[in-house]
Structure 1
Amino acid sequence: MDLPLNALRAFAVSARHLNFARAADELHLSPTAVSQHVKNLEARYGVRLFHRLPRGLALTDEGRAILPAVAASFERLAESLQQLRDGCPRETLTLGVVATYAVGWLLPRLAGFQAACPHVDLRLQTHNNRVDLAAEGLDAAIRFGDGHWHGTQAVPLLQAPLAPLCGPTLAARLRRPQDLMDVPLLRSYRVDEWDRWCAAAGVRVPPLRGMVFDSSLALAEAAAQGAGVALLPAVMFQRDLAQGRLVRPFEVEVAVGRYWLTRLASRPASPALASFEAWLTAQTLTGNGPQAV
């Protein structure tokens, strides 16, 4: 496509200054030349882009309509040229992350990833473990489960067994697992978690009724505020445990899944995703980086 780049640049700079003379100073042209570029652009597309006023310019509706696209295009072009100068092209990685993992494990370590891979611009979107990679335009997603999601390739990350957590006042009433019969048990949308934990603890399942949460972060906050006892991945709430907002009354835990890095099996990993996967796997294996405490 034959685009009038000089005229579009003259329009974008003039729109920023709303003055041909100031635009001319920036472009190292004469005001007449800038004005002519804009006139040529208007003539080419049969629209007026500016109202010429005694003391400057004002954008017409047509000028306001195209300005964001024109300005953004020149910004992206400048960024691309800067990457060539730097000798390392930048890449964008769009990642969906289950919110519990994002807050409890990933965010405290992201500075390490930025230092290791400064050429990758990471875009995070949190979710509650329900995610559609293709529909949401994600390069990859971190989620919790058994690793079996149709059409995906899954790389195992952190194991995170569930344990009962609650606020300190309620914890003082819990001396043995049987005491759970007398307190509210908070639940997630995974309906069998308490059944499996009670089987591991050797006690019968208390009556399960009351609040159900689709977010472990909300579940943990409700437990910290005294609403009941929640089954949570304790490794993701080390900060709250260290601060005493949450207490772990029993050591019994149950594994119902782990965290996985997933991507569409039909789409090869980009260099940015390969870099992130290598960094993330190394961090998971070694435990390097600042801890979430």
Structure 2
Amino acid sequence: MDRPNIPLNALRAFEAAARHLTLSKAAIELCVTQAALSHQIRNLEERLGVALFRRVPRGLVLTDEGAALAPVLTGSLDLIGATLDRFSSGRYHEALHVGVVGTFATGWLIPRLAGFEAAHPEVDLRIFANNNRVSIPGEGLDLAIRFGDGSWHGLQATRIMDAPLAPMCAPDRARTMSGPQAMLEQPLLRSYRTGEWERWFAGLGLACPPLRGPMLDSSIALADMAAEGHGIALLPPALFGHWTDRGRLVTLFDHSIAAGAYWLTRLQSRPETSGMRSFREWLCREVTDQPPATG
């Protein structure tokens, strides 16, 4: 069956009238007369062979057919408008929604974003920080940078950088530390990732002391507590160079443990767009060419 040849103006007229449910407001929005708008809607109804509205004393009421068509048209016109908005200066701008674990965002990515923006002005990058708990489809993201082992069901993961953990604390506390043995008497701050302190001490042949105090789900919060003198935190020094540069934190000793890496992830079921590819390639190149400063 051939589809009816329907003018776009008729569809726009119906969509506006369906939103306002009055011809007068729809006509004002589209800058046409009420008579012209009514004519376009009648033309659409004739071409479709159905009534889209019932006229009532106070305005319009959608028929079942009109109620089925209206949201489809509204969504389509909104999508067209959003796509057209991405064209400026003769160039298409792709919006790229990226979820980033907060530690990586503040400690590595944000200081370098100006370089990406300068190299790729066609990509409208939008960053959403999280605490490493993120759902790409559930949050409407295109990409997500997360910390872990790179194994996530349904996701393609590109390894960005390793970030071994080492003890860090405020400078005043560090000056009292003569060696790893001295840490046995110090308050050790806990993260939501269990077993890290046990592994760190085991690597030195020491038994981990009892761990007490609050457990935090953010490395940034751990760093802040350590910087304020509340204890020692296991943190990735590669992402806290700006803290050590400003004298807020000091890395204790050379011994560290591998707890995972940072990965750029995306849905395997979704093809990589040009913006996604540009961001991935820039990220990998930036890690190789300009490794983050360590403490």
TM-score by length of 2: 0.73
Q: 5+ residue gaps in structure 2?
A: 14-27, 41-50, 55-74
Q: CA deviation at 1:76?
A: 7.5
Compared CA separation, residues 82 and 226, structure 1 to 2 (3 A): closer
Q: CA deviation at 1:270?
A: 1.8
Match of 2:252 in 1: 249
In 1, Cα distance between equivalents of 2:93 and 2:153: 31
2:242 is aligned with what amino acid?
R
1:176 is aligned with what amino acid?
G
In 1, Cα distance between equivalents of 2:98 and 2:141: 6
In 2, Cα distance between equivalents of 1:258 and 1:84: 37
Match of 2:200 in 1: 197
Q: CA deviation at 1:82?
A: 6.3
1:161 is aligned with what amino acid?
P
Aligned with 2:163 (options 152, 160, 164): 160
Compared CA separation, residues 182 and 82, structure 1 to 2 (3 A): closer
Aligned with 1:187 (options 190, 204, 223): 190
Question: Are 1:279 and 2:255 an aligned pair?
Answer: no
Q: CA deviation at 1:202?
A: 3.0
Q: 5+ residue gaps in structure 1?
A: 11-23, 38-43, 48-71
Aligned residues of 1:175 and 1:249 also touching (Cα < 8 A): no
Compared CA separation, residues 195 and 234, structure 1 to 2 (3 A): same
1:179 is aligned with what amino acid?
A
Number of aligned residue pairs? 281
Provide Cα deviations, 1:191-245, integer angstroms capped at 9, x if missing partner: 1111111122332212112121100000100110011100000111111101111
Provide Cα deviations, 1:32-69, integer angstroms capped at 9, x if missing partner: x99xx9xxxxxx9989xxxxxxxxxxxxxxxxxxxxxx
Question: Are 1:258 and 2:275 an aligned pair?
Answer: no
Compared CA separation, residues 266 and 169, structure 1 to 2 (3 A): same
In 2, Cα distance between equivalents of 1:84 and 1:218: 40
Compared CA separation, residues 75 and 153, structure 1 to 2 (3 A): closer
Question: Are 1:222 and 2:233 an aligned pair?
Answer: no
In 1, Cα distance between equivalents of 2:121 and 2:294: 22
Q: Which runs of 4+ in 1 moved over 4 A?
A: 2-10, 27-30, 44-47, 72-85
Aligned with 2:128 (options 108, 125, 129): 125
In 2, Cα distance between equivalents of 1:121 and 1:100: 22
Q: CA deviation at 1:184?
A: 0.6
Match of 2:94 in 1: 91
Aligned residues of 2:170 and 2:229 also touching (Cα < 8 A): yes
Q: CA deviation at 1:133?
A: 1.6
In 2, Cα distance between equivalents of 1:156 and 1:232: 19
Aligned with 2:216 (options 209, 213, 226): 213
Match of 2:273 in 1: 270
In 2, Cα distance between equivalents of 1:28 and 1:148: 55
In 1, Cα distance between equivalents of 2:280 and 2:177: 41
Percent identity over paired residues: 49
In 2, Cα distance between equivalents of 1:292 and 1:81: 44
In 2, Cα distance between equivalents of 1:91 and 1:269: 12
Aligned residues of 1:185 and 1:229 also touching (Cα < 8 A): yes
Aligned residues of 1:104 and 1:292 also touching (Cα < 8 A): no
1:141 is aligned with what amino acid?
A
- SS of the aligned residue for 1:274 comes to helix
Question: Are 1:233 and 2:236 an aligned pair?
Answer: yes
Compared CA separation, residues 118 and 147, structure 1 to 2 (3 A): same
1:175 is aligned with what amino acid?
S
Compared CA separation, residues 82 and 264, structure 1 to 2 (3 A): closer
Question: Are 1:103 and 2:125 an aligned pair?
Answer: no
